[in-house]
Amino acid sequence: MSKQVGIMEDTMMGIVDDTDGDDRKRVRLGDRDALIGGTDEFVAASWLRSQAAGVSPEGGDIRYIGDVDVASRLVHYAQPVLEKLIEYTEDVPLSVAVSDNKGRVLSRLDTNSAIGALVDTISLAPGFSYAESEVGTNGVGTVLESGRSVHIVGAAHFHERFQKYSCSGAPIRDPLSGHIEGVLDLTCLVEHSTPLLHSFVRSAASTIETALLNDRELNQRILFNAFSKMEAKTRSPLLVAGKNVLISTSKAQKLFDADEQRIIVQHALYLAERATKATEEIELSPQRIVKIRTTRISSGKTVIGVGVSIADLTIIDSAVHGTTVAQVPQFNINSGSSAVAGRNYDSDPCNEVSSVWKSVTSLTRDAVERKENVVVIGERGAGKEKLIRDMVCNVHPSVTVVDIEPGFLTNDMKSEMSSNGNRSVYVILRHPERLTTNETTSVKKVLSDISSQGNLVGAAAMVTETESSEPEDNPFHRSLRGIFGRSIQVPPLRHRTNDLPYLVRQILNEISDNDVPEMDSETLEKLSTYSWPGNITELRHTLSECLSKKPSGMIEVEDLPASIRLSSIHASGILEHLEREAIVKSLEENDGNRMRTAKSLGIARSSLYRKMKIYKI
């Protein structure tokens, strides 16, 4: 295959994407122009977006983001494909890179050192951002904005630094959710460009997606097996949930509607990240409380889901006391008539937030009122610091909040503390895991001194974790464990999507001018299916983008970024297929004996008969 690539003729400058149209008009952007019509219309649309984002054609340095997950699941499954592409195209000076769904480069391989040195000059390297809003039209960011593969050659790039290169990019989608996980990009000089690279990148991206699907299917099977075993051991309503997966007993489906199941699942996933097993009461509505017992489900060291058995305390209380409890309908984001309004919304915020967030804020308030030093753990952008600041301001309004970060000078910190005189102080310690040994010693001494003077109201250490990390793995917990006792886990946004109506309204109020737009229910539903890897920070950025497109009026699905607009959930059909497949295989292994089949699956015979009837086996 490499020989074929080497002898193929060069392509013309432009974009090879779909078919070219004959009817074209020219559009001017400053002193540059592009043709409108066919594929050139695609380029012009990207240029317009680039210009609106403030990208300069003359450029500037590519922004280094850093702190990217170079050991992510995506990189793990993409790396063999990158290596194979390099092997196939060894005769062509080519760089192969994979980025995340924010356009941040995660990994890159080169066919030779010469092309590697060239692309180093345009910072196509891990940690650098190739988002279209950062660098204009390119083979990474334009894929994310358009949601489709592209082949951008030479002058089709908005940024002049890229115009001697050809970039072929294709989205890598999660096979179950449809959400773009990242982008595969092939970069070479224009003189080595060929339309075949566009085919290569699409085929290679599809190979990565297949690997992701196989990984997902393994997790699906683990979840299904866990469900079968739990179902055989309990008569309580049961749910098993993972990413884009929900399996439930018929009893759970009858007792809890979709919104209530979502509240239960999100709280259970939050608990599963904190403990192997947990029991907690949660409020589904002011009139309905349930007790959930959760069991963490893992694949190796990775938490992939949770099993939840549920006791409806409302029903128990009614049976004991002979009372009738009215059921109040929950906010339903599927309702066609609902909308998230602007400033004039008068509901009590306490009734709008999820049980997970109520639990976290309750723990935080208790710690602040008790003047305890706490570790606040959560993913980047989850709102850790805002939670603490808001609570300290609410409980101790006259207290001075002092920030300490790695790299501080001890004398400067002491001076800042002493400048507050006898005023009460609350200390926020940022990135404590990055402190040196000397800095850790200084922090201990300063906190001890303020505390002995009676001026320390409390302290919070902000620890950032990744989706797959365990809080106990952080070295901070060993170095300062004696000073910071209680840990508070701040849930990621994907575990509290029921809070989206409130959060969307709150953020729109903060970032909009006088005319606060509204968001329709279909758009809210689309937001709730997205995984929000950037949490509240990403939500704020998304809403800012929406406002830049539509400063007033109703925000609709088409106003959302492509990565969110094109996301969806298709898990249920796959789960049904997996369950049916498992039953058929077990029946074959047991020569059709239903008793042995039920025993090997770990379910009751009645459950097996019911499932065989459902799946027409």
Q: Chain-centre distance of CA 127, in angstroms?
A: 18
CATH number, residue 427: 3.40.50.300
Token code pair at residue 482: 């004696």
The three-state secondary structure class of 298 is strand
Classify residue 228: in a domain, yes or no.
no
Same domain flag for 296 and 391: no
Alpha carbons 458 and 488: distance in angstroms, whole number:
14
The three-state secondary structure class of 313 is helix
Q: Chain-centre distance of CA 159, in angstroms?
A: 29
Classify residue 84: in a domain, yes or no.
yes
Cross-strand bridge partners of residue 462: 376, 430
DSSP code for 326: P
Q: Are 605 and 598 in contact (CB under 8 A)?
A: yes
Alpha carbons 558 and 565: distance in angstroms, whole number:
7
Classify residue 533: in a domain, yes or no.
yes
Look up the domain containing 515 and give its range: 339-347+496-565
- pLDDT, position 166: 94
Same domain flag for 258 and 405: no
Same domain flag for 370 and 380: yes
Same domain flag for 278 and 264: yes
- Tally of domains within the chain: 4
The three-state secondary structure class of 292 is strand
Mean pLDDT by 10 residues, the chain (617 residues): 32 34 42 48 87 84 82 88 85 92 94 93 94 93 92 91 93 82 95 85 90 79 86 89 82 87 89 89 86 91 90 65 39 33 41 79 92 90 93 92 82 65 84 82 83 87 67 52 81 87 90 79 85 89 88 86 65 53 80 85 77 76
Same domain flag for 261 and 286: yes
Same domain flag for 512 and 484: no
Q: Are 122 and 143 in contact (CB under 8 A)?
A: no
Classify residue 222: in a domain, yes or no.
no
Contacts of 459 (CB under 8 A, 6+ apart): 373, 374, 426, 427, 428, 429, 447, 483, 484
Query: Which residue in 380, 447, 332, 280 sits closest to 65, CA to CA?
Result: 380
- pLDDT, position 317: 55
CATH number, residue 525: 1.10.8.60
C-alpha torsion sign, points 327, 329, 330, 332:
positive
| Domain boundary residue, one of 565, 580, 610 | 565
Q: Give φ, ψ of 108 to 5 degrees.
A: -150, 140
Classify residue 511: in a domain, yes or no.
yes
Same domain flag for 488 and 508: no
Amino acid at 101: N
Token code pair at residue 90: 């060894």
Alpha carbons 479 and 44: distance in angstroms, whole number:
55
- pLDDT, position 576: 57
Contacts of 592 (CB under 8 A, 6+ apart): none
DSSP code for 98: E
Same domain flag for 461 and 555: no
Same domain flag for 169 and 205: yes
Strands (E), 111-164: 150-153
- pLDDT, position 405: 85
CATH number, residue 287: 3.30.450.20
Same domain flag for 453 and 524: no
pTM above threshold 0.75 = no
Alpha carbons 101 and 95: distance in angstroms, whole number:
19
- pLDDT, position 514: 64
**Which stretches of 516-593 are DSSP H helices?**
521-528, 535-549, 562-565, 571-589
Classify residue 302: in a domain, yes or no.
yes
Q: Chain-centre distance of CA 23, in angstroms?
A: 41
- pLDDT, position 92: 84
Classify residue 464: in a domain, yes or no.
yes
| Domain boundary residue, one of 525, 541, 565 | 565
Same domain flag for 26 and 126: yes
CATH number, residue 125: 3.30.450.40
Same domain flag for 55 and 179: yes
Classify residue 575: in a domain, yes or no.
no
Q: Average pLDDT over the chain, rounded to whole?
A: 79
Alpha carbons 547 and 290: distance in angstroms, whole number:
39
How many of the other CB atoms lie within 10 Å of CB of 45?
A: 17
- pLDDT, position 464: 83
